[in-house]
Amino acid sequence: MNFRSLVEKQRNYFQKGSTKSYEFRLSMLQKLQSVIKEYESLFNEAMKNDMNKCPTEVYMTEIGMVLEELSFHIRHLSRWMRNKRVSTSIAQFPAKSFISPEPYGVALIMSPWNYPIQLCLLPLIGAISAGCTAVVKPSAYAPATSKAIAQILRMIFPEEYIAVVEGGRDQNRALLEEKFDYIFFTGSPAVGRLVMESAARYLTPITLELGGKSPVIVDKTANLKVAARRIAFGKVLNAGQTCVEPDYLFIHRDVKDEFIKWYKSALQEFFPNGRMTDMNTIINEKHFKRVSGLLESGKIVSGGNTDQERRFVEPTLLDEVPLDSPIMQEEIFGPILPMISFIHISECTDYIMNNPKPLALYLFTNDSSVEKYVLDICSFGGGCINDTIIHLANSNMGFGGVGNSGMGSYHGKRSFDTFTHYRSIVKKATWLDIPIRYRPYSKLKDKLLRIFLK
C-alpha cells in the first residue's frame, strides 16, 4: 500500500469539509454502533483464536465499553460541537469572544494487542466525533482480531475517510514517515519514545497511552476479603495483560497471612474445581517465556503452574520478593502478583515516588487519613480507592497517564477534545474604533492603558 497516497487522499477528503457537519459525524457514529452490534460474534471468534478470551469478558472489556462510549458521544456530540461564548475584557470593547472547536484533520491511530478492539475503536470514536479522518493500525500480535476490525471498518467506511492498515513493524515504521495532523499511540513506553521522535519531525501533536508498574496498597484497615477478591479480579482479567493491572502489591505485615487466605479463596471462587480452561492465554510464545521466567522472582504461595503448549500461566501469588528482583524491574503483563510487606505507609509511597510515575494506583483502606496521604504524595495517571481497573470504564472521566506512563487522555468528552483544536476568536464591532492602541502614543494613552489593562 502506498501510504503517502493514502494520507493525501484522506487530506483531500477532509479539506472538502465532508466530515465536519453534525449530521455526518452522527451518522458515522451510528453506523459504527450498528455494525459492532451486528458482528459481535465475529469479534468473539477472533478473540477466542487470539487469546482464548471468553464472550463474557469480550463484552465486558471490549464490545460493551465501545458501545457505551458510542452512546455517550451520540448523546452529547451536538453540545460539544457548539461555539462557547466567553467573557471579553473591557479593553477590547466593543467585541464578543468565543471558543470554536475544529477537527485537527488526518489522524493516525496505532493500537496494541492486549485489548485490540477497545483500544483501537475508542480513539477512533473520538476522531469521528471531532470530525477527523483516520488511518487505523491494529496490532499484528492479535491477527484474527486485526482482520475482524479491518473487515467491519472497510464494510462501512470509504478508505478516504477511515482506512485500516494491517501488518507489523514495517507498516508501523512506514506510517510514521508520513505527515499526519494528529497521532494517537497506545503501547509500551519504549515504542512511545520512537513514535514521539517521528511526530517531532513534523511537529505533530500526539497522545501517548503507555504503561508501567501500577502499585496496589493494602493497609491493615482494609476489608481483606473484598480487597483480595477485587485485586484477584484485576490480575486474572485478560490473564494480567492489562496496562492498568495491579502490577505489584504492598501488603501490611500484620494482615499478609489473612490476605493470602482470601486471595486463594477468591481464585477458587473464580475457577470452581480449579478448572481454568476458559481463562485467557498469554498472547504469544515470546511473552509466555518472559512471564514464566518471572515466577522465579519469589516464593510461590499460590499457583505457579504453566502450560507451554497453550501458553497458559496460572494466577500466582509470590511472597518474599526482593525489590531488585526481575519481576520488580519490568511491567509483568501476566497473572503473577508479587507481594512486598510493609509496616509504615511511607515505605510504600517512598518506593512509588522514587520510580517512574505509574499509569494506575490502587489503595485499599478504611482510613481516610491514609487515603489523603497517598493521594497527596503520589503522582499517577488514575486509579481506585478500594477497587481495581474500573476507573477507566467511566465516560465522564478522562483516562491517561503521566510522565513515563503517557501524556494526554481520552474517553468521553476527552476523546472529542483530543482530536479537536479549540480556536480562540474575538469578533470586534466596527461601529466604534477606540484610538488608544494606535500610534502616536501619549501620556494620556499610557494612563488609559494602565487603567484598562491591569
Cell 518474599 belongs to 320
Annotated catalytic residue within 62, 69, 178, 209: 209
Cell 474517553 belongs to 411
Pull the grid cell for residue 88: 471579553
368: which residues sit within 8 A by CB, 6+ positions away?
none
Pull the grid cell for residue 333: 503483563
Is 384 annotated as catalytic?
A: no
Please name every residue paired with 424 in a beta bridge, in sequence order, or none if there are none.
99
> How far, in Å, CA of 291 to CA of 302, rounded?
16
Read off φ and ψ for residue 308, nearest 5 degrees.
-65, -35
Sheet holding 162-164, edge to edge: 162-164, 133-137, 106-110, 182-186, 206-209, 406-407
Is 243 annotated as catalytic?
A: yes
Annotated catalytic residue within 120, 132, 243, 384: 243
CA distances 404 to 203, 240, 244, 306, 385, Å, are 20, 20, 14, 31, 22
44 contacts 58 by C-beta, under 8 angstroms: yes
Question: What's the maximum distance between 2 C-alpha atoms anywhere in the chain?
Answer: 90
Q: Which residues are catalytic?
A: 209, 243
